[in-house]
Amino acid sequence: MYDKLYHTTDISQSSFLITGGAGFIGSNIVEYLLKYGAGKVRVLDNFSTGSNANIEEFKSNLVFELIEGDIRDLETCRRALEGIDYVSHQAALGSVPRSINDPIRSNEVNVNGFLNMLVAARDAGVKNFIYAASSSTYGDHTGLPKIEDKIGSPLSPYAVTKFVNELYASVFSRSYDFHTIGLRYFNVFGPKQNPKGPYAAVIPLFIEAAIENKQPYINGDGGTSRDFTFVENAVQANIKALLAKDIDKHEVVNIAYGERTTLNQLWQRVAKTAGIELTPEYREERKGDVRHSLADISKANQLIGYKPEFSVTEGLDIAFNWYKQNSTVVQ
C-alpha cells in the first residue's frame, strides 16, 4: 500500500500529530507519513480502541514518537502539541450502537475531547488542523447523493457528537480565525480495522467469516446500502487536507468513493474473493442506522484535490489478503 504519492511539498522538516494514531485510520496515516519521510510523527492514543499491534512496526523509527494519554485531559493535549505543525485528529469513540449504549462516554470523548484539542491546537498555532467528521451527520435526510450543506436530524448520540464537532470547528473559525477542515468519512474499511468486539464494522466481520468459512449475519434484509471507502482513499484525503494552502474558513467535505453497495452485494463480493458459498443469517435492523448512503465528493475534489484511487472491489481484495496474512495479530 501507499505506492502512490499524495503530496508534492517537502515534509522532511514538518512535524505531525495523529491523535488516535494507534487506531485503524490513524495508524494508516502514520504509515504513509513515515514512508515518505516526515520530519516527526507523534501519536497520541489512550488505547481504549487502538492497538499496539497497529504501530509496533513504527516504534524503531527515530522520527516516531508515542504519547499514551487521553484527549479528555487538556494538559495532555497541550503536551502532545508542543512543536507540532500539522494535526490529524482521528481520536474518537466510533460506533452508533456503542453511543446508544453509553451516550455519556461518547460525549465525553467525542465532544469534550474534541474541544480540548481545538483549544490546544489554536493556542499552539498549528498550521493546519484536520479532523474526522462523519457521514452520520446527515441523519434522517433522505436525499442522495449526500451534499455537505444538506443535513437532517441526527439518529444517534454518536451522530450528535460528530455534528457538534462541526459546530465547534465553525465557531472557532469565526471567533478565533482558527480554520479547520472536517472530513466526513463514509464507511471506511481496510487493513488494521479490528474485526473483534461488539462494535466491529461489517467488512472486517464479513472477511473474518469468509476466512473461517462461517455463516455471516446481516442486520436487516441486506438491501441497506453504503458508500464503502477504502482506507487509502481516506489517507489521501488527510494528507491533501493537512498540506492544503489558503484555507480561510472552516470547511467540511465528504470523503467516499461515490458508489453505493448493498450489504448483500458486499457479502457476494467477499465470498467470491474467498471462493466460498454461504447464505447470510438475517437479523433485525440496528437502531440509529440509515437505509441508504451515497456521497457527492465534488467539493472535496475542488477544495483539496481529492480523487479516490481505489474502488470497493480493489479495496476488498487488499483487505482480504491483509486479514488472511495477519489473522494472528488482529486483537
Q: Which active-site residues does the annotation give?
A: 158
Q: List CB contacts of 298: < 8 A, sequence separation 6 or more.
A: none
Give dist(CA 28, CA 35) in Å, integer. Answer: 11
Task: Identify each DSSP E strand in the chain by its residue range.
Answer: 15-19, 40-45, 64-68, 86-89, 128-134, 180-185, 188-189, 217-219, 225-226, 229-230, 251-255, 261-262, 281-283
With residues binned 3-state (H G I as helix, E B as strand, rest as coil), the percentages for the chain, rounded to 5, are: 40, 15, 45
Give dist(CA 269, CA 206) in Å, integer. Answer: 10
45 forms beta bridges with 68
Can you list the alpha helix ranges (DSSP code H) found in 212-262? 231-242
Residue matched to cell numbers 474558513: 249
DSSP letter (8 states) at residue 81: T
Give dist(CA 9, CA 158) in Å, integer. Answer: 36
Give dist(CA 68, CA 144) in Å, integer. Answer: 41
